[in-house]
Amino acid sequence: MSLYAAFAGNLDARLMSRRAPHSPLRGTGWLNGWRLTFGGEQMGWEGALATIVEAPGSQVFVALYDIAPMDEDSMDRWEGVGLGIYRRMRVRVHTLDGDEPAWVYVLNAYEGGLPSARYLGEVADAAESAGAPHDYVMELRKRPC
C-alpha cells in the first residue's frame, strides 16, 4: 500500500470510497509550505480545477488514505494522469505522529482562473466533513468564484 494525501474534493470520504473502495482512510494532516489554488480553467470544465503549489508559510489540510495497489490505477484514471491533466508527486505530510511521505495529484496547468461556485462549495463541504478546522473551511467558502 502507498499513502495518498487527498485535498479539495477528494477529502470527501464517500467520494473516495467510490474511487478507491479498497483503500481505508488513515487520518488527517497538513501539507506545510503548500497552498490550495486553482488552474486549468482552459481545459473546458466548469471553471478552474483545484491543485496545490509550494508557498512558504501556507498549509493545506489533507486526508490520508492507504491506497491499495488495486485502486492506484483507478485513482490515476479518475485524476486524468494518462491524459496529462494531473501528475503524481511525492510530498511530506505533517501528522500528529510526525511527518510521513505521501503522494498527491498536482495539476499540469498554470495557476489561475476561478472555480465555479458549485465546485468551490463542494471543496469546502468536503474539507468540513473531513474535520478541517472551522477557520480553514471559512477561508475556502470566502474565496472568489
pLDDT at 8 over 90: yes
Answer yes or no: are the C-beta atoms of 38 and 106 closer than 8 Å.
no
The candidate with the shortest Cα–Cα distance to 8, out of 143, 119, 144, is 119
* Candidate list 41, 79, 122, 128, residue with the active-site label: 79
Instruction: Determine how β-strand 98-107 pairs with β-strand 25-39.
Output: unpaired
Over residues 74-110, the pLDDT tens digits come to 999 999 999 999 999 999 999 999 999 999 999 999 9
Which residues participate in the annotated binding site?
119
Res. 42 pLDDT band, cuts 50 70 90 = confident
Residue (of 76, 108, 79) closest to 8 by Cα position: 79
What class is the 2-138 domain?
alpha beta
Q: For residue range 51-67, list pLDDT tens digits in order.
A: 999 999 999 999 999 99
Grid look-up 489540510 returns 61
The whole-angstrom separation of Cα 12 and Cα 121 is 12
Do residues 35 and 60 make contact, with C-beta atoms less than 8 angstroms apart? yes
For residue 71, the model assigns a pLDDT of 96
Binding residues for substrate: 119
79 has catalytic annotation: yes
Cell numbers linked to 47: 471553471
Q: Is the pLDDT of residue 44 over 70?
A: no
- Report phi then psi at 82, rounded to 5: -65, -25
Q: Stretch 6-29: mean pLDDT, rounded? A: 93
The average confidence (pLDDT) of the chain is 94
Is there a contact between 84 and 96 (Cβ–Cβ < 8 Å)? no
What are the structural domain ranges in the chain? Answer: 2-138
